[in-house]
Structure 1
Amino acid sequence: MKFVTLIALYVALNICNAEIFTALATMKRALYIEKKLAEQLRSYAPLIADKVASEQVAKIAEDYDRIADESLVEPEGYLANPVNAYMLCKRFTTELVDLKQLLTSPALKAAFDDQLYIYRTEMPDREDFTGVIDALLRLQDTYEIPPLHFVDGTFSPAGNSPRMTASDCFEIGKYAYDKGDKYHALMWLLESLSSYELEGASYSMDKILLLDYLIYAADDQGNPRHALNYANDLLALNPTNERTRSRIQDVIRWLHSEIATENKTLLEQNRKIPSQTHLPPIQNKRTLKRAATQEFLNYEALCRGEDLKPNPNEHKLTCFYSSANRDPLLVLAPAKVEVLYEEPLVWIFHDVISDNEIGVVKGLATPLLKRAVVNDPKTGKLVTAQYRVSRSSWLYDVDHPIVATLSKRISAMGNVDLETAEPLQVVNYGIGGQYEPHFDHSRENDPKVFKPGQGNRIATWMFYLSDVPAGGYTVFTEIGVRIPPIKGAAAFWLNLHKNGRGNALTRHAGCPVLSGSKWVANKWIHVVGQEKRRPCSLDENK
């Protein structure tokens, strides 16, 4: 099943640290701030001498107030939409700069700055804005969503997002271009141009600026003829800046030279020279390096629901009730087990954690959430990474009786000893949250693999603490297994062969969240202590 049209996502912002991965409460605060700013701006409007500026400020105040009222009725649903998240961050960043220019009185500007200073730690900033864009582009790539579906709201069946303006599209394209991502830049700049033509007299941005970026983006992606047309269109608008006119004239001469060279090559190859008035579709090749690897392509395909590697032993897969060697915890209430793969062993346990227990775990973890880190293989230090976008915290058995109860349950159902296991790691994946392909076990040549009294990670247990309407699957890229995040269930798999070596088939990933918020709780079980429950093999080849 594909989720191309089921795109919406839970958005969360950690304003203090400029990260986009926290709880809903933080984003809610931004919505309340917008409501307060609306009141402030409404009181400013009559004090502005310039009539046009006064009307514009009054209109902005009205829009802020309306948006806040609509969003706070059902903030979860509102914030589940990536376009709404993007719009909110844009209003607090680029649009806020423009708004301040309308406050012509120094006294009003000072008063507004004082108000913003009060809310500074809870307002989205520029880093939050670019983080939302990065997440949106990540979703666009993974789930193959054309920009138009974001623009017109058809990406979501709920259809509760406003139509994006040319300015909205331009900011995304500009950001991508400025960081060297010409692929996304061209895509969104073209969408900005299309939106501009539909806006009629209510243009949301300067077309000269849009065409200026579009010229370079089109040419950089191998479209000099299209770039020439955009350059001519720009000059036809008679830009008042003489330096801009001179630069574009130089660009046009350069493009003519580039096209002449291309025409010469086409003639030598006996190929037809395209008409400048009837150009072929613009080309735009994805150039992201990691996208060229088969593993990354498999990862994205599995996230989209494509079946890549049929299980040859699918006919042997079963569901059963397990009392795990008649463990006292499971005699009267055996575990419900679904086998997804035999080697490596990958199981799902259904209905293993209650709503009350989930509430306690999330309540304990939320105040402790920090950006998730990974081990840098070069330095051995824990660092943040773009391939793991989430926030996490750690809970110990002594933190709460329910945490201790869950540990006992994991031990019983997984038939594992937890004496050397790690604490419970609680993870929240928000807007575009993901964890790209990785292993849970350490590499054999890593000096930290066999820590004294602990050993490598033999198994992984993962509670799913929330339903995720779309996206957020756990996928195994080497065997094609996809595990849906179902609230109350838990995934369990063995990371090592019986000889103690890492199993390469356990490479797995967490797909970007498309709709809702993904909460999981991981327990990593280590080798030491499993001698009786899961003894190693005497055959080094097993």
Structure 2
Amino acid sequence: MRLALLVLATIGYAVADLFTSIADMQNLLETERNIPKILDKYIHDEEERLVQLKKLSEEYSKKNEISIENGLKDITNPINAFLLIKRKIFDWKEIESKMNANKAGNVVSSITDDSYGVRYPTADDLSGAAIGLLRLQDTYRLDTKDLADGKIYADQGNYTFSAKDCFEIARAAYNEHDFYHTVMWMEEAQRRLGDEVEPTVEVEDILEYLAFALYKQNNLKHALKLTEELYKMNPTHPRAKGNVKWYEDLLEQEGVRRSDMRKNLPPI
């Protein structure tokens, strides 16, 4: 139980590093509860707006039929010409007003602006939370798979990470030049991606990040192997072909013969 409390405290402090306080997190949870209500109201308003636009479209179609039937009369008769122009101007203004009445911007601002009492998280906040998880992992020597499965303590609930979640944690580590954790979490992302019916992340992205992280750990043979997999998967990839040659050149500089570059790969 003491371990569980320590773990939870560590998570709280790690997230709070960037995401101001627990109060922010509580407000964020409240926002999560309110979003369905906000969206339902937006959908209802949009449906009403579209009904009005459909009605205007039907009315305009009828007016157009009359205008087409009258043909040159509307153009050559000064009175009809005036009425036609006036009708087009005011009709269009009404249509334009209805078309521009989309309230999506208001919906977004109602969730994110200060008047709603919530500071919405940013990419930096997500990165901070990811780094907090990595600190937690190191402090308590937690297995990557167990952590991704939510196995922090007995009553953790049914929370598991997708391949995309693992990828984002790995990318946060990568941006901190922490290539040790980058490799661990990119590998976990790759494993989970293989089990996903609907992929949450591109395997090409995983391979490229993983290869570079292994290169930074001086595991050039594995970096070459993964980059060749990437190139075979997508020959038009903008960097894969060049990176294959680059890794080959680096291995050659280390005295590795080309015939040996794909043999006796060291462990990851």
- Shorter chain as denominator, the TM-score bin is 0.5 to 0.7
CA contact (8 A) 1:7 1:156 kept: no
Change (3 A) 1:236 1:125: same
Matched, 1:112 2:107: yes
Change (3 A) 1:246 1:20: closer
Question: Could you tell me how far apart the structure 2 residues matched to 1:169 and 1:258 are?
Answer: 30
Which one-letter code corresponds to 2:145 in the other structure? L
Q: After superposition, what is the alpha-carbon deviation per residue over 1:61-87, rounded to whole angstroms, capped at 9, x for unaligned? A: xxxxxxxxxxxxxxxxxxxxxxxxxxx
Matched, 1:131 2:128: yes
Matched, 1:281 2:264: no
Which one-letter code corresponds to 2:107 in the other structure? F
CA contact (8 A) 1:212 1:234 kept: yes
User: After the TM superposition, which residues 66-105 of structure 1 pair with which residues of structure 2 at under 5 Å, given as runs?
Assistant: none
Gap runs ≥5 in structure 1: 49-104, 266-272, 283-542
Q: Residue 180 of structure 2: which of 178, 183, 187 is its match? A: 183
Q: How many residues were matched structurally?
A: 210
Q: After superposition, what is the alpha-carbon deviation per residue over 1:64-119, rounded to whole angstroms, capped at 9, x for unaligned? A: xxxxxxxxxxxxxxxxxxxxxxxxxxxxxxxxxxxxxxxxx993541332222244
Which one-letter code corresponds to 2:207 in the other structure? L
Could you tell me which residue of structure 2 aligns to residue 30 of structure 1? 28
Per the TM alignment, residue 32 of structure 1 is displaced from its structure 2 partner at its CA by 0.8
Change (3 A) 1:209 1:43: farther
Could you tell me which residue of structure 2 aligns to residue 382 of structure 1? none
Q: CA RMSD in A?
A: 3.5
Change (3 A) 1:121 1:233: same
Q: After superposition, what is the alpha-carbon deviation per residue over 1:138-178, rounded to whole angstroms, capped at 9, x for unaligned? A: 11112111221111122322241411011101111111112
Provide TM-score, normalisation by structure 2.
0.65
Question: Could you tell me how far apart the structure 1 residues matched to 2:20 and 2:158 are?
Answer: 21
Could you tell me which residue of structure 1 aligns to residue 222 of structure 2? 226
Which one-letter code corresponds to 1:110 in the other structure? G
Question: Could you tell me how far apart the structure 2 residues matched to 1:212 and 1:251 are?
Answer: 10
User: After the TM superposition, which residues 139-150 of structure 1 pair with which residues of structure 2 at under 5 Å, given as runs?
Assistant: 139-150=136-147
Q: Percent of aligned positions with the same letter in both sequences? A: 27
CA contact (8 A) 2:219 2:266 kept: no
Provide TM-score, normalisation by structure 1.
0.34
Question: Could you tell me how far apart the structure 2 residues matched to 1:253 and 1:151 are?
Answer: 35
More helix by share: 2
CA contact (8 A) 2:27 2:118 kept: no
Matched, 1:202 2:198: yes
Change (3 A) 1:108 1:204: farther
Larger radius of gyration: 2
Change (3 A) 1:161 1:263: farther
Question: Could you tell me how far apart the structure 1 residues matched to 2:189 and 2:6 are?
Answer: 21
Question: Could you tell me how far apart the structure 2 residues matched to 1:220 and 1:123 are?
Answer: 35
Could you tell me which residue of structure 1 aligns to residue 244 of structure 2? 252
Change (3 A) 1:108 1:197: farther
CA contact (8 A) 1:185 1:217 kept: yes
Which one-letter code corresponds to 1:157 in the other structure? A
Q: After superposition, what is the alpha-carbon deviation per residue over 1:290-331, rounded to whole angstroms, capped at 9, x for unaligned? A: xxxxxxxxxxxxxxxxxxxxxxxxxxxxxxxxxxxxxxxxxx
Per the TM alignment, residue 259 of structure 1 is displaced from its structure 2 partner at its CA by 2.8
Per the TM alignment, residue 125 of structure 1 is displaced from its structure 2 partner at its CA by 2.8
Which one-letter code corresponds to 1:222 in the other structure? N
Change (3 A) 1:18 1:148: closer
Which one-letter code corresponds to 1:131 in the other structure? G
User: After the TM superposition, which residues 385-396 of structure 1 pair with which residues of structure 2 at under 5 Å, given as runs?
Assistant: none
Question: Could you tell me how far apart the structure 2 residues matched to 1:263 and 1:43 are?
Answer: 67
Secondary structure (helix, strand or coil) at the match of 2:102 reads helix
